[in-house]
């Protein structure tokens, strides 16, 4: 199992969509190797015979000659190809509700976080990635990265309020999926891990149950998430040198 994942200049893995898949692989107990790529390398990743037929995005996996791109497709593939491991996406209504949760994560979480860390993301990238990232993201934002990120402290209250559905869910159990973590937890975790790895911004108040949940997720699978160093730890290390 080979997982293609993005790295920044300090070789930290920051992609929110890949973190979903990393957690899914760990949940299933599937060992994997990681091939680090930068944004500028993605176009050069080509399956033999071009079996995917469209542009790859990260995450992409290669297993047993099979290439799969897109986190949702990858988790479906893992559920089918490793049928004796715990299933993450059940078919029927459960799948539709999970898909709805993914839409919520992409809109409320990813969009809410993106603007607040976009300049930090850029500054952390390998210099070879910076022109592409600036150009493509400024087109999406219709603004410079600097303007987009400015004033983020003023947006913090609104972002924290938007997490209320998570707080309500976490009143029922330690994880969004109940007593045990499941794919909804990994969808949300990916977003917070993205911010943690790429930016020193403190997104969550320490006394927020979402922060307690995030720490619980960081501890899962022998602290797999926590082993990826946070941007703030990196900055502290720098200032101590």
Ligand X SMILES: N[C@@H](CCC(=O)N[C@@H](CS)C(=O)NCC(=O)O)C(=O)O
Among 9, 30, 34, 42, binds ligand X (CB under 6 A): 42
Cβ proximity to ligand X, 208 vs 228, nearer residue: 228
8 is a contact residue toward ligand X (CB under 6 A): no
**193 lines the binding site for ligand X (CB under 6 A):** no
* Residue from 1, 30, 39, 81 binding ligand X (CB under 6 A): 39
Q: Does 71 bind ligand X (CB under 6 A)?
A: yes
Q: Is residue 70 at the binding interface for ligand X, with CB under 6 A as the rule?
A: yes
| 182 binds ligand X per the rule CB under 6 A | no
Please, what's the b/e burial string for 199-227 (b: 16 or more CB within 10 A of its CB; e: otherwise)? bebebbeeebbbbebbeebbebbeebbbe
Closest contact distance (angstroms) between CB of 191 and ligand X is 11
Q: Which residues contact 133 (CB under 8 A, 6 or more apart)?
A: 39, 121, 122, 125
Bridge partner residues of 25 (DSSP): none
Considering the complex, state which of residue 17 and residue 149 has its C-beta at the smaller distance from ligand X: 17
CB of 17 to ligand X, least distance (A): 4
Residue whose CB is less far from ligand X, 119 or 170: 119
Look-up of token digits 């922060």: 211
User: Which range touches ligand X (CB under 6 A), out of 11-19, 81-89, 114-122, 225-233?
Assistant: 11-19
Spell out where the chain has E strands: 2-6, 33-37, 60-63, 66-69
In sequence order, which residues have a C-beta less than 8 Å from that of residue 186 and are 6 or more positions away? 19, 20, 23, 24, 27, 88
Q: Is 58 in the site for ligand X (CB under 6 A)?
A: yes
Query: If binding is defined by CB under 6 A, does position 181 make contact with ligand X?
Result: no
Q: How many residues bind ligand X (CB under 6 A)?
A: 12
CB closer to ligand X out of 30 and 156? 30
Tell me whether strands 2-6 and 33-37 are parallel, antiparallel or unpaired: parallel
Write out the two tokens for 240.
């101590």
| CA–CA gap between residue 15 and residue 8 (Å, rounded) | 10
Task: Please say whether the beta carbons of 168 and 104 come within 8 A.
Answer: no
Q: Is the peptide bond before 59 cis (omega within 30 degrees of 0)?
A: yes
State the minimum distance, in angstroms, from the CB of residue 173 to ligand X: 26
Round to whole Å and give the CA distance between 230 and 198: 7
Q: Judge contact between 21 and 61, C-beta under 8 A.
A: yes
Asked if 59 touches ligand X (CB under 6 A), the answer is yes
Which 121-140 positions form the footprint of ligand X (CB under 6 A)?
136
Binding of residue 5 to ligand X (CB under 6 A): no
Binding site for ligand X (CB under 6 A): 6, 15-17, 39, 42, 57-59, 70-71, 136
């Amino acid at each position: 199992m080979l997982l293609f994942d993005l790295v920044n200049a300090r070789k930290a893995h920051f992609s929110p969509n890949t973190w979903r898949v990393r957690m899914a692989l760990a949940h299933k107990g599937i060992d994997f190797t990681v091939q680090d790529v930068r944004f500028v390398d993605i176009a050069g990743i080509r399956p033999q015979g071009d079996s995917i037929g469209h542009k790859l995005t990260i995450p992409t996996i290669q297993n047993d000659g099979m290439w799969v791109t897109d986190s949702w497709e990858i988790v479906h593939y893992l559920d089918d190809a490793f049928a004796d491991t715990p299933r993450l996406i059940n078919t029927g209504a459960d799948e539709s509700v999970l898909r709805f949760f993914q839409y919520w994560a992409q809109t409320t979480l990813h969009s809410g976080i993106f603007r607040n860390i976009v300049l930090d993301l850029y500054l952390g990238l390998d210099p070879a990635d910076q022109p592409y990232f600036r150009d493509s993201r400024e087109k999406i934002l219709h603004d410079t990265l600097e303007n987009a990120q400015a004033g983020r402290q003023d947006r913090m209250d609104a972002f924290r309020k938007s997490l209320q559905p998570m707080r309500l869910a976490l009143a029922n159990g330690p994880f969004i999926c109940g007593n045990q973590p499941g794919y909804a937890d990994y969808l949300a975790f990916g977003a917070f891990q993205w911010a943690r790895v790429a930016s020193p911004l403190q997104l969550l108040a320490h006394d927020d149950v979402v922060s307690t949940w995030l720490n619980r997720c960081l501890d899962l699978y022998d602290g797999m998430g926590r082993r990826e160093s946070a941007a703030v730890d990196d900055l502290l290390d720098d200032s101590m040198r």
